[in-house]
Structure 1
Amino acid sequence: MTSIPHDTPGEPDPLRALDLERLRRRTSMKWRTYPEDVLPLWVAEMDVPLAETVVRALTDALALGDTGYPAGTAYAEALAAFAAKRWNWHGIAPERTAIVPDVMLGVVEMIKLVTGAGDPVIVNPPVYPPFFQFITHMDRRVVEAPLGAGLRLDLGILEETFREATAHGGRAAYLLCSPHNPTGTVHTAEELTAVAGLAERYGVRVVVDEIHAPLVAPGVTFVPYLSVPGAERGLSLMSASKGWNLAGLKAALALAGTAAAADLARMPEEVSHGPSHLGIIAHTAALSEGIGWLDALLAGLQDNRRLLDSLLAEHLPGIRVHPAEATFLAWLDCRALGLGDDPAEVFLGRGRVALSSGLPFGTGGAGHARLNLATTPEILTEAVRRMATALT
């Protein structure tokens, strides 16, 4: 798939727009979970103002009293146009999409469509902790196929896991994180084509969480799973929530491959009542008119990745950070520091910096922590300084 160059931003870096005092006025999870003396670099919220196009769209809707139930395909059409321009992918057909409350609830509904109670759902740890939680809560069985060398998909392990999961003739699903959270790995077209081939060979249904798709670093190519040969029976979940910091404005889209439309059509009608109408308005505006803002953000994230590398080399050379190709997250290998299985606990207790513990990410998470890069350079610098003091 041809890589499409990013637009020239033409907008200031949103990661430099807000200071700590203003951020502490926020009432969301990131800023209210810990005491005020803690710097929060954990949950996936960004320390940015909203894109102006999103603010205008919401303000106009509120002025009209347009706060009813969602309707229409504007969100799907905006995502299709974004995908065509950004990824040179013209495969999104609005009639093969459905609105869902958010990506993880959409994942639940898709897995319910293609598996039954007790069936295995395969994941690639270390991976986003709600994968484990939601799978078990819907009475499915988590099966791990850990990432391999370079924290990439290990196709050999994946094939063995597929074979074992379907050995007795039952149904199985594969929940793929693309781009991968927490490592920031962007799966290649070759890797995804191999996944599709394995899934067809063993009868495994693939459900893909592609929520971080807009957050791919400049020069890196994101490949939608449904765009690769053999993925026609796949199901994908996409959203503007991570790319434009809209998690509190609930909305996402479920997408069906050309051979999975009948599966998506079986989704209960009441699921479409869950998304917020205002959320859909905001997400549509972001995808349609928020590209300059997104590009400015991506440039700022690249700056922060370089800053983090420099800060760790100076203050915490024992930490190895996996080079992320996407997301606004950094996966920190802290095992050389001798802080035990949960270094995040040490950094919180001694340094007053909140990171995400690696343990809930499954196999490969011990001795690791996840750091949220989507903050100001000043906060990031102070956070690393504090983390270093935790070792003294």
Structure 2
Amino acid sequence: MTRSPHEPSGEPNPFRALALDRLRCRTSVKWRAYPDDVLPMWVAEMDVPLAEPVVRALTDALALGDTGYPAGTGYAEALAGFADKRWGWDGLAVERTAIVPDVMLGVVEMLKLVTGPGDSVVVNSPVYPPFYQFVEHMDRRVLEAPLGMDLRIDLDALEEMFRQATAGGRRAAFLLCSPHNPTGTLHTSDELAAVAALAERHGVRVVADEIHAPITAGGAEFVPYLSVPGAESGLSLMSASKAWNLAGLKAALAIAGPAAAADLARLPEEVSHGPSHLGVIAHTAALRDGSSWLDALLSALDDNRRLLADLLAEHLPAITYRPGEATYLAWLDCRALDLGGGADPADVFLRRGRVALSSGIPFGTGGAGHVRLNLATSPELIREGVRRMATALDRDGTGEGPGP
């Protein structure tokens, strides 16, 4: 599926709403993990105000004192409506959903349903670091099926890991990151159908983290894993968290394919106690009424991807950047930089340039020599971030950094 480039929504560019001095008043981890002289461009928080429908919903709830426990299916209904309008997917059945505290805790609960202690969970490295942390903490073994050189799923590598994971008749799962974090790769319908066929052949259960699903580049379309042929036994986690900057308002949805409904029905009742009622209210409002705001965001991200590509080509041409089709994250290959001694480029940029990026090392195999940069900020701060990166590599005082 494809979509046309983002049309103007009538909403202002949300990245231009807050100046740096206002952003530094925030108390979240992005703005408190480093000293004030560091420009933070690392963790997945966006430099935007909340969408007005979300503000209204939260304000009304607070005015009512509506701060109890979550109830009802409004969140699932809002996501089903959004999926139908946005992706042309009418297969999200509200009765096959469950509210979970957030996407990663939902991933943990889904993996508990389909695997046991000591079983293997396959991932496509380099991938979101909590995939390793959470899976290993729950006494499962991580097996890597690295992405190909084109940063897409390598089906041969995936099948080999499926064979290893299920050796001896053990249960196994594939934790799919879709869209992929950190590369921004948007998996196609054919790729996902091939994944489903491999999973069925080897008896591997697929759990899809689809938290970045609403954030696509112009001309690209997200394909829900559960919408492809053969994915009936899959499980998915979705939320409005990334697209509307709601990480601090905890709530997500677990979604089961038709053949996984019985698995989801075994989810312990106490899991539903974890989400925030205000989080559910916020996510529901975003999905129901926040599309115009989202369109403005997506258009601005298209501009930011182009801007970053131009700035890197001009000032840091040794860095390879393939703009992703999804997410607001940029995966930068810094291996051609002359850093010496195998230095981590994120450490160099922080120490010498006072710009904080995510190190590629925790993303697993294929991550070393890379950094992840958060594009969800103003054009001015992107320019300043690249300027600081170039300064960090400057050898002669020109500020232009090394050549290719």
User: How does the TM-score come out when normalised to structure 2?
Assistant: 0.96
Structure 1 residue 163: Cα displacement: 1.3
The 5-angstrom pairing of residues 360-375 of structure 1 reads 360-375=362-377
Structure 2 residue 390 is matched with structure 1 residue 388: yes
Q: Displacement of 1:315 after TM fit?
A: 1.0
Deviation at 1:283, TM superposition (A): 0.3
Cα gap change, 1:54 to 1:359, in 2 (>3 Å): same
The residue identity in structure 2 corresponding to 1:145 is A
Distance 1:92 1:348, change over 3 A: same
For structure 2, which runs of at least 5 residues remain unmatched after alignment? 395-404
1:28–1:302 Cα change, 3 Å: same
> Structure 2 vs 1, CA of residues 302 and 4 (structure 1 numbering), >3 Å: closer, same or farther?
closer
| 1:337 corresponds to 2:342 | no
Q: Deviations over 1:331-386 (max 9, x none)?
A: 00001112235100000000000000000000000000000000111111011001
SS in 1 for 2:167: coil
1:3 Cα offset (Å): 4.2
Q: Equivalent residue for 1:179?
A: 179
For 2:306, the equivalent position in structure 1 comes to 306
TM superposition shift of 1:2 = 6.2
The structural deviation recorded for 1:145 is 0.3
Q: Which runs of 5+ in 1 are unaligned?
A: none
Tell me which amino acid in the other structure corresponds to 1:197.
A
Give the whole-Å Cα distance in 1 for the aligned partners of 2:3 and 2:174: 27
| Letter of the 1:134 counterpart | F
Name the residue aligned to 1:78.
78
2:16 alignment counterpart? 16
Q: Counterparts in 2 of 1:165-314, with a 5 A limit?
A: 165-314=165-314
CA distance in 1, matches of 2:322, 2:218: 17
Q: 1:8, CA displacement in angstroms?
A: 4.1
Q: 1:6 to 1:386 in 2, by over 3 A?
A: closer
Write the distance in 1 (CA, Å) between the matches of 2:156 and 2:338: 32
| Amino acid in the other structure paired with 1:106 | G
Partner deviation per Cα, 1:262-310 (whole Å, 9 max, x = no partner): 0000010000000000000000000000000000000111111111011
- Measure the CA separation in 1 of the matches of 2:93 and 2:187: 23
TM-score (norm 1): 0.99
Task: Show the counterpart of 2:351.
Answer: 349
8 Å contact from structure 2 (residues 2, 220) kept in 1: no
Aligned counterparts of 2:171 and 2:216: Cα–Cα separation in 1: 33
Q: How far apart are 1:323 and its partner, in Å?
A: 2.0
Query: Would you say the 8 A contact 1:184–1:324 is kept in 2?
Result: yes
* Cα shift readout 1:145-173 (whole Å, capped 9, x = no counterpart): 00013100000111111112112101000
Q: Could you list the per-position Cα deviations for residues 206-237 of structure 1 after superposition, in whole angstroms to 9, with x for gaps in the alignment?
A: 00000000001111011000000000000000
Distance 2:60 2:46 in 1: 24
Q: Is the 8 A contact 1:3 1:88 kept in 2?
A: no
Percentage of identical aligned residues: 78
SS in 2 for 1:272: helix
1:377 pairs with one of 373, 376, 379: 379
Aligned match of 2:401: none
Aligned CA distance change for structure 1 residues 264 and 6 (closer, same or farther; 3 Å)? farther
Q: Say whether 1:63 aligns with 2:52.
A: no
Q: CA deviation at 1:186?
A: 0.2
Offset of residue 257 of structure 1:
0.2
Distance 2:54 2:7 in 1: 18
Contact 1:341–1:366 (CA under 8 A) maintained in structure 2? no
Match of 1:359 in 2: 361
Task: Report the AA paired with residue 380 of structure 2.
Answer: E
Spell out, residue by residue over 1:16-61, the C-alpha distance to the aligned partner (whole angstroms, 9 max, x if none). 1111000000000000000000000000000000000000000000
Q: CA RMSD, aligned part only?
A: 1.0
Match of 1:157 in 2: 157
CA distance in 2, matches of 1:213, 1:338: 36
- Partner SS state of residue 45, structure 2: coil
* Aligned partner of residue 390 in structure 1, secondary structure: helix
